Amino acid sequence: MTAVGNPGDAGLAPPAEYLDRLAELAVGLGANIQPGQVVGITVQSGQEAIARATAEKAYARGAKFVDLWLVDLHVKHSRLKHADPDTLTYLPSWIGERMLKLGELEAARLSFQGPPEPTLMDDIEPTLLGLDQLPRLRESVFVTGQQTTNWNITPFPNPNWARLMYPELPVEAAYAKLWQQIAFVCRLDEPDPTAAWKERLAQLEAHAEKLTALRLDSLHFVGPGTDLTIGLLPSSRWVSGRGQTRSGITYTANLPTEEVFTAPDPERAHGHVTATKPLLVPGSAVIEGLTVSFENGRVSKMNATKGHSILETMTKKDDGASRLGEVALVDREGRIGQTGSVFYDILLDENSASHIAVGAAYTTCVSAEEDRARANKSAIHVDFMIGSNEVDVDGVGVDGSVMPLLRGGAWQV
């Protein structure tokens, strides 16, 4: 493995070829940075190498200025350990104002995922983890909904994440294996990763168009521990990973992306669901064994074998935090699911299985103005995975007709 940049843990550093390809993918097909744009980059400690690589490529593409925001989770840990709990929801105004200003400037935005310190918060009371949500910002939900910025989120491996994934391996071998996995799911192993992604994105867009044309009234998920019906808005439309700003810049928000998703009716979710994968909220701790019940669109009951209080606290943040803002379908053709791995990273795990999210809806998924007004609003957006090859998904038409959508993870439409 050829190393570049600062060595970091045990003298390890990213493989040069993969680092270059990942940075190129993020600034190109991902955020699609334009000449003259301001670029905001958000990273956590341990992600400095990818921050520098993307800044280099952003300036090479003609960026006007690259603004870096570094979040150090050790500093967050100190706050959670010592600060008055009543102050944990406080953030200085300039942090949110930076995000709003990026929106005003119609900037490009880049961030990177992959838990750099997955066990750091294990000694913190879970209810406190639901209060301080950094690096998540409520303003980012608003800016995303305004469609002013072209943005992208991409994973970036680190040795601690590799230890979490492969505890049985020496750290060097674990780190190399994680990079191989990320290269596979991000298609960095292809002769032309961008061309490979364009082909996959075309497939996802075709699925989204077919689902939108069905004009479904609701979805029904049935599987082990799951019997959940989710209503859709009359003008809910299905979209995939490729987006467009209101000024016409196309971008791919998530890389990798394997989902098609829409905005549900926040008042029509009923039944119970069992998460099919653990959830690691960025900057928080692992939630495992999650089960959730819904009545009249709202979370009515929630349990977990680990980390229950984290999500419970978050769903009490505002009136929309306990209602659904997204439902997404993922088929078995996606590369992430093919690995059979749990990555403990929401970007990857949500694109390995069908999922739902409590909190804010993406209004780009709603066509009619009256339905946009009804789409769920919240300061949070938290995805958790509910799909597998054992979970059947049906679509229900406005006339009550039922049509299979997913069986054994394969599309039926």
Q: Is residue 198 one of the residues assigned to a domain?
A: no
Range of the structural domain that residue 116 is part of: 9-191
> What pLDDT, on a 0 to 100 scale, did the predictor assign at position 6?
39
> What pLDDT, on a 0 to 100 scale, did the predictor assign at position 4?
38
Percent of the chain with pLDDT over 90: 86
Same domain, 352 and 299: yes
Percent of the chain with pLDDT over 70: 97
Peptide bond into 191 cis (omega under 30): no
Same domain, 224 and 155: no
Of the pLDDT bands very low, low, confident and very high (cuts 50, 70, 90), residue 281 is confident
pLDDT at residue 7 greater than cutoff 80: no
Same domain, 124 and 229: no
Over range 24-49, report the average pLDDT: 97
Same domain, 43 and 95: yes
Same domain, 172 and 292: no
Number of domains in the chain: 2
Same domain, 148 and 287: no
CATH of the domain at 69: 3.40.1830.10
Same domain, 328 and 371: yes
Same domain, 125 and 256: no
* DSSP states of 225-292: TEEEEEEE-TTB--B-SEEE-TTS-EEESBSS--EEEE-EEEEEEEEEEE-SS-EE-TTS-EEBS-EE
Same domain, 185 and 276: no
Which two tokens mark 259? 């989902």
Same domain, 235 and 105: no
CA 40/CA 69 separation, integer angstroms: 8
